[in-house]
């Protein structure tokens, strides 16, 4: 019987594989109050999308609400790594590393157009470091098993300088090469959302939750939600509700139980984006021990270099956190110890900050090292299920674990999960070079769009490959509703080059207005909002 159901599931998936993600269609689906959803998910970042994917793999009827855009918060501001976590191994979190390494291999298999094998080099300046890091990384290799991406090995001083042309050579003994994964976080989130849509899920962005609804016994039975773009409100009936809102989880928990103890401690991490020439080559640099005990990465990504990150406790969760001057200075200073010509403030093209949803530490503690990166599932008296913590690499396993917890509650009858084998939207074994690779099989459709209307082949900026066709595609097929949706997450311009993104914004607004049927006041407001946002990514405004 399970084999038969699995075949039906796969047939449904491929049957719908050419469908587009349409917001209007999904709003029509949620407007029918007679519908009782098996599962309503609050949050469209890595956690919520992982829950949705696993639930749909079990044949459940799923609806998901994201108050902003998919992955607009923490989930689009990572270091762009799909990794087991070398430093978690050093901290003794063996279970987390095992789990993450398995999921890393699966993700590279299921989304080869959005992920890739990235070699890293740890520069070695003492023979003791060679021994220490070599042993640790051999254990890392062994833990990955058959899903290993490549063997770690020591390389000579000359080879290290050849592969990292800008590394400081004084006292350099050599380097240790190891392998981890790299990805585009926002595009991956979108691909998961598209996959969920193809599997029959109903996902909508720009749809905040106003309240939780309960029956006469106090058991949760649904939500009140609002379309932030139209102002319309909807009543949603659901058998189970998952709170997957990351750093904002406490707000939903407060809706459920006012006055409940704080569960989330936001920790801010920032990244600087500079020209790739500051490191040189295609290998990434891993600095294993900074002055604050963290690791620092310098990773080639989309023809730039992403350098980070920090770990700074913040009091409140914000959708658009601002980098602190001390964080910027810390990254620049640390880089200066390792690079021949380190970047300065004037070289930074963009700076972005994200908040990690760490479990709140024990009272009186302010050390992020004491806070586990493992995910946690909280079951409220009302039946609300809250997923906190975790990391992008384990998004699918987080979803699977959440569904298993719901099954134990008895709220839903569950089939076995099949999410581990789902190929994500755009999957192809013939991965292209350049920025078209992020679209996977959709790249051919985009080229057809340009062939039908050659004017859409024009670039939005002379220095970057993005075309007008991609804006039209983002609106028609990827549920982009605002200029920020396009320039921040469908294209990654805002975090790659804030000034260039601002230059592209007027044309993006024109194209979106034409597609969405919007007027000049809409364009004016969108541009004003985007420019205000972009200021937070420009280092000269900080």
pLDDT at 372: 58
Residue whose C-alpha is closest to residue 272's, from 466, 82, 77:
77
pLDDT at 450: 96
Q: Taking the CA of residue 198 as centre, how many other CA atoms within 13 Å lie in the half-sphere pointing to its CB?
A: 25
What's the CA dihedral at 187, 192, 194, 197 to 10 degrees?
Answer: -160
pLDDT at 95: 84
Find where tokens 């024990």 sit. Answer: 362
**Contact by Cβ (8 Å): 202, 29:** yes
CA-CA distance, 478 to 486, in Å (whole number)?
Answer: 9
User: 62 forms bridges with which residues in the sheet?
Assistant: 39
- Cβ within 8 Å of residue 214, ≥6 positions away: 220, 221, 382
**Contact by Cβ (8 Å): 335, 307:** yes
DSSP 113: T
Sign of the torsion formed by the C-alpha atoms of 495, 498, 503 and 509: positive
Residue whose C-alpha is closest to residue 500's, from 345, 273, 188, 270:
273
Q: Domains in the chain, please, with CATH?
A: 2-74+187-263+370-421 (3.50.50.60), 93-183+265-357 (3.30.9.10), 435-541 (1.10.8)
- Cβ within 8 Å of residue 35, ≥6 positions away: 29, 61, 237
Find where tokens 């994500």 sit. Answer: 424
Residue whose C-alpha is closest to residue 533's, from 24, 137, 214, 72:
72
User: 275 forms bridges with which residues in the sheet?
Assistant: 304
Q: Taking the CA of residue 39 as centre, how many other CA atoms within 13 Å lie in the half-sphere pointing to its CB?
A: 35
Residue whose C-alpha is closest to residue 438's, from 188, 89, 129, 130:
188
First to last CA, the chain: 60
Phi/psi for 287 (5° steps) reads -95, 110
CA-CA distance, 139 to 218, in Å (whole number)?
Answer: 50
pLDDT at 3: 44
pLDDT at 289: 82
pLDDT at 367: 54
pLDDT at 48: 98
What's the CA dihedral at 281, 284, 288, 292 to 10 degrees?
Answer: 100
CA-CA distance, 11 to 13, in Å (whole number)?
Answer: 5
**Contact by Cβ (8 Å): 356, 74:** yes
Would you write out the chain's pLDDT as a tens digit for each of its 542 residues? 444 444 444 444 444 444 479 999 999 999 998 999 999 999 999 999 999 999 999 999 999 999 999 999 999 999 999 998 887 777 778 888 999 999 999 999 999 999 999 999 999 999 999 999 999 999 999 999 999 999 999 999 999 999 999 999 999 999 999 999 999 999 999 999 999 999 999 999 999 999 999 999 999 999 999 999 999 999 999 999 999 999 999 999 999 999 999 889 899 999 999 999 999 999 999 998 887 778 899 999 999 999 999 999 998 999 999 999 999 999 999 999 999 999 999 999 999 999 998 877 655 445 555 455 678 999 999 999 999 988 999 999 999 999 999 999 888 999 999 999 999 999 999 999 889 999 999 999 999 999 999 999 999 999 999 999 999 999 999 999 999 999 999 999 999 999 999 999 999 999 999 999 999 999 999 999 999 999 999 998 87
**Contact by Cβ (8 Å): 490, 465:** no
Ordered alpha helix ranges (H), 296-363: 325-336
Q: Is 285 helix (H, G, I), strand (E, B) or coil?
A: strand
pLDDT at 6: 46
Q: At what angle do helices 185-198 and 46-57 cross, to 10 degrees?
A: 30
Q: Taking the CA of residue 69 as centre, how many other CA atoms within 13 Å lie in the half-sphere pointing to its CB?
A: 21
CA-CA distance, 227 to 333, in Å (whole number)?
Answer: 45
pLDDT at 239: 97
**Contact by Cβ (8 Å): 193, 186:** no
- Cβ within 8 Å of residue 102, ≥6 positions away: 144, 145, 147, 397
Q: Is 309 helix (H, G, I), strand (E, B) or coil?
A: coil
Q: Is the peptide bond before 165 cis (omega within 30 degrees of 0)?
A: no
228: enclosing H helix or E strand? none
């Amino acid at each position: 019987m399970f084999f038969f159901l699995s075949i039906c599931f796969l047939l449904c998936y491929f049957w719908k594989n050419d469908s587009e993600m349409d917001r209007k269609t999904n709003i029509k689906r949620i407007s029918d109050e007679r519908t009782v959803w098996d599962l309503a998910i609050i949050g469209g970042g890595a956690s919520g999308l992982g829950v949705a994917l696993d639930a749909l793999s079990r044949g459940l009827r799923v609806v998901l609400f994201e108050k902003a855009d998919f992955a607009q918060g923490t989930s689009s501001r990572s270091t762009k790594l799909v990794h087991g976590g070398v430093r978690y191994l050093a901290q003794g979190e063996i279970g987390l590393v095992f789990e993450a390494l398995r999921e890393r291999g699966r993700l590279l298999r299921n989304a080869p157009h959005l992920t890739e094998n990235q070699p890293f080099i740890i520069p070695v300046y003492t023979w003791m470091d060679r021994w220490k890091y070599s042993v640790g990384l051999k254990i890392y290799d062994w833990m990955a098993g058959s899903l290993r991406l490549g063997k770690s090995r020591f390389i000579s001083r000359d080879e290290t300088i050849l592969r990292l042309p800008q590394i400081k050579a004084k006292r350099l003994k050599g380097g240790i090469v190891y392998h981890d994964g790299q990805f585009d976080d926002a595009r991956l989130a979108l691909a998961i959302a598209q996959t969920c849509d193809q599997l029959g899920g109903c996902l909508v962005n720009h749809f905040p939750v106003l309240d939780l609804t309960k029956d006469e016994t106090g058991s949760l039975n649904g939500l009140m939600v609002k379309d932030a773009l139209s102002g319309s409100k909807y009543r949603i009936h659901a058998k189970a509700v998952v709170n997957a809102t990351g750093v904002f989880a406490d707000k939903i928990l407060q809706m459920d139980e006012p006055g409940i103890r704080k569960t989330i401690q936001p920790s801010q991490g920032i990244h600087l984006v500079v020209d790739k020439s500051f490191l040189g080559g295609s290998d990434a640099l891993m600095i294993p021990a900074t002055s604050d005990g963290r690791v620092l990465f310098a990773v080639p990504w989309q023809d730039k270099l992403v350098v980070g990150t920090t770990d700074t406790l913040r009091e409140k969760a914000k959708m658009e956190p601002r980098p602190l001057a001390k964080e910027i200075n810390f990254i620049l200073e640390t880089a200066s110890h390792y690079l021949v010509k380190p970047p300065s403030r004037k070289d930074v093209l963009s700076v972005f900050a994200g908040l990690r949803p760490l479990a709140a530490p024990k009272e009186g503690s302010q050390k992020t090292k004491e806070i586990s990166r493992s995910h946690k599932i909280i079951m409220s008296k009302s039946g609300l299920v809250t997923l906190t913590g975790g990391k992008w690499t384990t998004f699918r396993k987080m979803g699977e674990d959440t569904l298993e917890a719901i099954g134990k509650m008895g709220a839903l009858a569950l089939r076995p999960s099949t999410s581990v084998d789902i190929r994500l939207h755009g999957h192809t074994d013939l991965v292209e070079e350049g920025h078209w690779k992020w679209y996977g099989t959709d790249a051919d459709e985009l080229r057809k769009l340009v062939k039908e209307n050659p004017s859409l082949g024009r670039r939005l900026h002379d220095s970057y490959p993005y075309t007008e066709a991609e804006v039209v595609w983002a609106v028609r097929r990827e549920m982009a509703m605002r200029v920020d949706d396009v320039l921040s997450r469908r294209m990654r311009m805002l975090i790659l080059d804030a000034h260039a993104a601002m230059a592209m914004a007027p044309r993006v607004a024109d194209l979106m207005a034409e597609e969405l049927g919007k007027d000049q006041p809409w364009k004016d407001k969108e541009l004003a909002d985007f420019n205000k946002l972009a200021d937070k990514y420009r280092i000269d405004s900080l």
